[in-house]
Amino acid sequence: MEDVYNHTAITYAACTRNTLKGDFLKVILEDVGDNLFNTDPYYQQGGDMVRVGGMGFTIDITKKMGERVSNMTLLSSGEAIDPKKDYVVAGWASVNPDADGPPIYDLVKSHIKKKKVITNIGNSAIKVRGA
């Protein structure tokens, strides 16, 4: 549990499930990317890049806001993310004060108890350019 808490123990730990359009997924990735890679240090707000599962994308950190993220695909089929299509998205660490779901550390603990052994399979679906 120490490792679980090291990675998930925050004051806004509620898990959420939402339906988002494909074009909004890109907006989120672009916005978070801009917090990290804006060329003007006064606009860099720190943090880390959104972690995703089930989709891949390319981010070019040398490009400007709105042009960094491309090649968004579903890993299960290789199909391109459709800007107009709805996608079910689960997450945690929402800054929305109304987020109402179980804490992420409880879900991770439950998953580990059920699986017994967790294997890191790596992720090559996210491509970073300009680094």
Query: In the numeric block, which tokens belong to residue 118?
Result: 């967790």
Question: What is the structure's pLDDT at 84?
Answer: 97
In what side-by-side order are the strands of the sheet with 69-74?
69-74, 55-60, 126-129
CA torsion, ordered 45, 10, 59, 30, to nearest 10 deg? -60
CB-based contacts of 76, cutoff 8 Å, min separation 6: 54
Specify the pLDDT at position 114.
Answer: 96
Q: Where are the beta strands (DSSP E) in the chain?
A: 15-21, 55-60, 69-74, 86-92, 126-129
The whole-model pTM stands at: 0.81
Residue 22: which H helix or E strand, with range?
helix 22-37
Pairing assessment for the beta strands 126-129 and 55-60 based on DSSP bridges: parallel
Q: For residue 11, name the pLDDT band (cuts at 50, 70, 90).
A: confident
Specify the CATH number for 2-129; select among 1.20.120.1200, 3.90.780.10, 3.40.50.2300, 3.40.50.300: 3.90.780.10
Cβ proximity of 69 and 129 under 8 Å:
no
**Cβ within 8 Å of residue 84, ≥6 positions away:** 21, 22, 23
Q: Which residues contact 96 (CB under 8 A, 6 or more apart)?
A: 16
Question: Which of 9-13, 58-62, 86-90, 106-110 has the lowest average pLDDT?
Answer: 9-13
For tokens 């294997």, name the residue.
119
**pLDDT tens-digit readout, 50-92:** 778 889 999 999 999 999 999 999 999 999 999 999 999 988 8
